[in-house]
Amino acid sequence: MTDKKPEDADSIVLIGDGEARTAADQLRCLNEIAATTGIEDDDFSRGGSVGQLERAMAERLGKESAIFMPTGTLANHLAIRRHCGTGGRAAVQEQSHLFNDTGDSLQRLSSINLVPLATGRVYFTAAELKEAYETSVTGRVMNPISAVMVETPVRRRSGQIVPWPEVQAISEVSRSLGIPSHLDGARLFMVAAATGNDVRDYSDLFDSVYVSLYKFLGAPFGGILAGNSDFIDGMYHDRRMFGGGLAQTALVAALALHGLPGFAEKFAAALEKGKQLMRAIDGIPGLSVTPFEHSSNIFPLTLADNLDLDRFKSALADHGIFIYPPEQPGEPGVRPIDLHVNATMLRRPNDELASAFSAAAAQATA
Ligand SMILES: Cc1ncc(COP(=O)(O)O)c(C=O)c1O
């Protein structure tokens, strides 16, 4: 048994969206912010540091306005609700968070049906969107698709991304059909670093965009929804109607504001280093890493049949490297383990990490 822990300062933690942060880390960070830039109180999530964050994110995303949301679930819901009005239908990926993980909230709470496209796949094409729209306006009862949402990267497909030319084509089709579009960019800052685009390149193609504040930016929860002033104005009433007008969120906003500067550079460096490490791991006997077709920061590691997974995992932990096999592994002998590259990758040199993988594989071989 190792005495090393994922929260140690030099641990390499190959899961999650960013560096895991404990409440104690966040308190330390807040104290530092309070002593330097300061934290300004808000009033039920309006003004103060929350207002500063909304302005900073609107500017960063190239949108006129932005509003804090307590969750991404609510940000996506209210965005689609505003685009569609109460009624109508929104085209989404079948694999999206909105379709799978919100308990049919749009259908049940806002009378908006979702039209799931690209079943089991990462993304739908612009041509598929067009076809779905045509079907929606040629039925016995006219019921047009009245909004479209794109999620990229797709959490349920190991963080794979919608290819950039397809994002552009989907945006072009939705504009030509006059359908408002929304981007679920929960991990937009990460995907921008992974593709070499700016976050603005993405947000320019959509009428509204949601970005998570806790996945990479260091806040404990929350999201930002950005769009035109007309779209965002008055949205705080909707937020409150759905029970999301939190009384004090300045601490959350201050942490996210702190996480913004330098993120793109840091993450791009982590990803580049991570890719080099994955290539090195792929050369180790018993281990293989074959990147996904549209990969962002997640890489599947497959162990040879004669490697014992538990021994491999605990040998890596002895080196301060933490991996998280799925609870229900696939076929024996396949056992892909998603390795998530995040900024913890920058903590130690690749040579040292590759040697640790090599030693762990040798130790775990029957
Ligand atoms: C792609 C995507 N969208 C939206 C959400 C919802 O975010 P929240 O947990 O803030 O409701 C998640 C959360 O995992 C997500 O992965």
Distance 284 CA to ligand 1 centre (A): 35
Instruction: List the residue whose alpha carbon is closest to atom 5 of ligand 1.
Output: 72
- Final residue before a domain boundary, out of 233, 259, 285: 259
Give pLDDT, residue 130: 98
Give pLDDT, residue 331: 55
pLDDT at 270 over 60: yes
The CATH number of whichever domain residue 69 belongs to comes to 3.40.640.10
Distance 262 CA to ligand 1 centre (A): 23
pLDDT at 42 over 60: yes
pLDDT at 193 over 80: yes
pLDDT, mean over the chain: 95
313 lines ligand 1 (CB under 6 A): no
17 lines ligand 1 (CB under 6 A): no
Residue 352, in any domain of the structure: yes
Q: Which of 208, 210, 224 is nearest to 174 (CA)?
A: 208
What is the mean pLDDT of the segment spanning 13-25?
Answer: 87
Number of domains present in the structure of the chain = 2
Long-range contacts, 78-81 (Cβ 8 Å, 24+): 78/225, 78/235, 78/238, 78/239, 78/242, 79/149, 79/182, 79/208, 79/210, 79/225, 79/227, 80/106, 80/110, 80/112, 80/147, 80/149, 80/182, 81/106, 81/110, 81/112, 81/238
Counting from 1 in the atom list of ligand 1, the atom nearest the Cα of 70 is: 10
The CATH number of whichever domain residue 355 belongs to comes to 3.90.1150.10
pLDDT at 267 over 60: yes
155 lines ligand 1 (CB under 6 A): yes
- Kindly indicate the confidence band of residue 300, based on its pLDDT and cuts at 50, 70 and 90: very high
Is the same domain home to 205 and 286? no
Is the same domain home to 188 and 255? yes
Percent of the chain with pLDDT over 70: 98
Of residues 251 and 19, the one with the higher pLDDT is 251
Give pLDDT, residue 165: 97
What is the mean pLDDT of the segment spanning 144-153?
Answer: 97
Instruction: List the residue whose alpha carbon is closest to atom 16 of ligand 1.
Output: 155
Give pLDDT, residue 329: 57
CA distances from residue 164 to 20, 252, 334 in whole angstroms, order as listed = 29, 31, 31
Is the same domain home to 249 and 283? no
- Measured CA to CA, the distance from residue 81 to residue 217 in angstroms comes to 26
pLDDT at 259 over 90: yes
- Final residue before a domain boundary, out of 193, 227, 259: 259
Residue 52, in any domain of the structure: yes
Distance 73 CA to ligand 1 centre (A): 6
**Each residue of 316-364: pLDDT tens digit?**
999 999 998 877 655 555 568 999 999 999 999 999 999 999 999 999 9
Counting from 1 in the atom list of ligand 1, the atom nearest the Cα of 153 is: 1
Is the same domain home to 241 and 358? no
Distance 225 CA to ligand 1 centre (A): 13
Residue 25, in any domain of the structure: no
Query: 68 forms bridges with which residues in the sheet?
Result: 224
182 lines ligand 1 (CB under 6 A): no
Residue 2, in any domain of the structure: no
239 lines ligand 1 (CB under 6 A): no
Q: Phi first, then psi: give them for residue 227, nearest 5 degrees.
A: 180, -165
Is the same domain home to 83 and 181? yes
In 118-175, beta strands by DSSP E: 145-151
71 lines ligand 1 (CB under 6 A): yes
102 lines ligand 1 (CB under 6 A): no
- Kindly indicate the confidence band of residue 1, based on its pLDDT and cuts at 50, 70 and 90: low
Give pLDDT, residue 157: 94
Residue 30, in any domain of the structure: no
What is the mean pLDDT of the segment spanning 62-69?
Answer: 98
143: left (phi over 0), alpha (psi -120 to 50) or beta: beta
Is the same domain home to 349 and 208? no
Residue 29, in any domain of the structure: no
DSSP SS3 for 298 = strand
**Each residue of 100-124: pLDDT tens digit?**
999 999 999 999 999 999 999 999 9
Among 101, 122, 151, which residue has the most ligand 1 atoms within 8 Å of its CB, making it the best to mutate?
Answer: 101
Is the same domain home to 192 and 48? yes
pTM metric for this prediction: 0.95
Among 155, 182, 209, 297, which residue has the most ligand 1 atoms within 8 Å of its CB, making it the best to mutate?
Answer: 155
Is the same domain home to 156 and 290? no
Is the same domain home to 176 and 319? no
- Final residue before a domain boundary, out of 259, 289, 311: 259
Q: How far is CA 242 from the centre of its chain?
A: 23
Counting from 1 in the atom list of ligand 1, the atom nearest the Cα of 222 is: 10
Is the same domain home to 76 and 132? yes
Residue 161, in any domain of the structure: yes
pLDDT at 146 over 70: yes
151 lines ligand 1 (CB under 6 A): yes
Give pLDDT, residue 21: 83
Is the same domain home to 174 and 230? yes
Is the same domain home to 286 and 254? no
Residue 123, in any domain of the structure: yes
pLDDT at 181 over 70: yes
- Kindly indicate the confidence band of residue 2, based on its pLDDT and cuts at 50, 70 and 90: confident
Domain, as residue range, for 95: 37-259
Distance 195 CA to ligand 1 centre (A): 21
